[in-house]
């Protein structure tokens, strides 16, 4: 006789399933095995839709985790500089200087703060694409 189930997938909500997997009470492999025993994906989607929702949540969390790891990887070369108590503006100063020179050659004199604001405005569209929401208005009303 097998071990008793620690979580009843038939009555658990999607969030309960995800929390149980996160807490180590059960595993995603157990969830997949349960769905297979219940007749495969199509049948278990009809009988136990919460298991499909849980799989979708797990997939989204895995994707978010992958994104977070990529961001940490990008920032890792700068962590040592931050640990030395260097100011962020000091760390990015060479890049700011390069942008200021680029704009100066075009006849536009900008200060560091103006370059940062310009770059933030330029990439605001990317944030809107990622989130699907309009970016916040940075201008304070008079």
Helices (H) and strands (E) in the chain, counts: 6, 0
How sure is the predictor about 1, in pLDDT bands with cuts at 50, 70 and 90?
A: very low
Give the number of other CB atoms < 10 A from CB of residue 48.
19
95-124 per-position pLDDT tens digit: 999 999 999 999 999 999 999 999 988 888
Residue with tokens 């929702």: 53
41-99 per-position pLDDT tens digit: 899 999 999 999 999 999 999 999 998 998 888 888 888 888 888 888 888 999 999 99
Concatenated DSSP letters of 49-98? HHHHHHHHHHHHHHHHHHHHHHHHHHHHHHHHHHHTT--HHHHHHHHHHH
Q: Where are the domains of the chain?
A: 1-84, 87-142
């Amino acid at each position: 006789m097998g071990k008793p189930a620690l979580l009843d997938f038939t009555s658990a909500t999607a969030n309960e399933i995800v929390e149980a997997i996160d807490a180590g009470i059960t595993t995603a492999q157990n969830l997949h095995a349960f769905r297979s025993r219940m007749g495969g994906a199509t049948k278990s989607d009809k009988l136990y839709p919460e298991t499909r929702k849980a799989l979708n949540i797990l997939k989204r969390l895995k994707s978010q985790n992958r994104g977070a790891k990529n961001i940490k990887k990008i920032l890792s070369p700068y962590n040592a500089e931050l640990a030395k108590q260097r100011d962020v503006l000091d760390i990015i100063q060479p890049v700011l200087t390069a942008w200021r020179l680029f704009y100066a050659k075009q006849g536009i004199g900008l200060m560091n703060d103006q370059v940062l604001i310009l770059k933030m405005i330029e990439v605001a569209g990317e944030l809107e694409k990622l989130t699907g929401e309009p970016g916040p208005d940075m201008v304070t009303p008079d």
